Structure 1
């Protein structure tokens, strides 16, 4: 399977003799763009064996980047963050530790134009990035487009995701209570934390919006005895989840539907959505929370786990594009806490009653996923995924890991309910967890 990278838009222009022209101009522009970076250092080793060191070396990481093709500079200058990632996928630059290269840029985000544009600063690079923004705007998450967007990611194949995820097939941040916790243990801790926040009981009917491969639905029904309705718009996930429910002997308590959240009917005691709202898009955020308010019973509780972007920079973020939104999660948009609260205020009586940050746990989750993925590369290749796809997937995992580790993005669990809910008076908050080492 070929990785979809827009190389046709970033090819170096050919000289009269048919050979690529020298990239000296773009190389100089690249150095100029990062000339104010003062945290840590980045050594750029060039094709001819020479090297250029960037950064003051004060604190931060010491990263090494090998440039294999001068087109890497042009890609970064003309297409910003997206072009830099695409150049890595194409093999135009490499590193034994790409995460350190990305960390260096993250550490210097306020002085790096391609990152600083999201922080409200002016930018003189990435003049072609508007093309990516236009492509994004052409994919709003209507019912029809949502099917396409979700399918492009989640229908890569169940076998592919099993090469990366734990046995529960949970594709969201786990919670590591102890330094030695495995990925599976962390996912079970996450399930238990959510179940306790929901105060699940056998008499409850739980709705899971975006149930994935069914891991939490099975956990909730088997551990707490409640009835669960899960919905997904991924055909691959639907078939897998139904098989797992049958294997667990829970068909009398768990129903998995192929259904858009906008078409759900009925009334539910509890609602959960684990890292699904990122797929809504700004246009449909109010629609989602309005639907949740309509579906929730009078004494109901909702837990939303979602990835968030800092409020201070959110306006710029919404207008920009990044590598993951273009190549990994088409049509997606992270929320901010303020944006969520504003939407709740516009759409019903739901209010935020508890919020917990688990962003650092996501960094470790991503590290475990990447380790699993690279331990199963032979299987990944047998499934038909080529080297470019593997490089793209590794870049995505490391890009996100560095983002969480740097607190550039966060992951939170939000408890929502209505005023005058008597059940909140004796709310059983989870016990404090040990801090990650």
Structure 2
């Protein structure tokens, strides 16, 4: 089992891939959750310490008959309970390859290509968020670790050593912020809860009042944590207003975007995140809205050198000798972890294989509000973005005819404001969201043939 031949590895791989395909192909036929007591599960897993091994078929049998059915099915289309990504097969394969290579992303020399791949992928995320070119960061286990790293950097920004430090966060902020304060010795009691408005967004006026009051009482305000998607309701705090307050009082502004920040990819949601590019740091969870399996979080720093001052540590056994500056690069200088798995590979493979356009597609435009069940829109592929309205009208007319002849989906047309529009109406109890997705796929497929 420890050192199989190449042929055995292929056989094992075929068995595992077959199990994976069967599982994903039959998800809709499963319950999202099946209850079994912890004692029953332990008994099925056989709690005795194994003295003799079993073959792969025996291992997969346990996985198939106990682990799969008595896990919450996070990839199930009706798993609505938590902010939980379904994962993707591509990312699962990336995890397999990362584990096969078993790179340890500590310093550049330990894994040159994986380190460069992570730095490249971090830079893509920096650009997505609109951060300055000097910004940087690293992948961590999740949003909690990202929040911890960012708050540690915030404390370092002015070399605060007071025991009266204060962090400001709304009452809707994730508990990991208070946990980070406890772990860093700041204290949970020094996380001040700022009032929220009727939409559960932080009130900038109450933030000012809390900071002013604390200054009068001799406390040292140093960090405000804004939310880009709260865990309870998805509320996005007024980021630009909070940045203005942070500037006024010289506070570090951290954005917890673990849940929602990647929604900036959607053109329709981009306005919600105005000001996010002005943050001093941001926590993100690619294992949420980038559909990746756990674990992979991310922290981006506007000024990475501040994080380096917080985390770098010199020791003889960590001293790096190299001919080029990049050979001295070490991820451990920017976060709490030393040993780090190759998390970046699945993000790189997803972004490189799927492309940002597919994750935040904006090639369809609504041309009228949807009040009941009629929807009017048009298809504007990237090559037509700079064309005239008349050219887009003509393209959509041809597209409608081709779609109707294709027969997989059917639309009609409307004229709105003198412009041609594709028109649909949902009035069938059998229609599902999947049917709407198929319609958009059909339109793209047919459009490519025009």
TM-score w.r.t. the length of structure 2 is 0.30
Larger Rg: 2
TM-score w.r.t. the length of structure 1 is 0.31
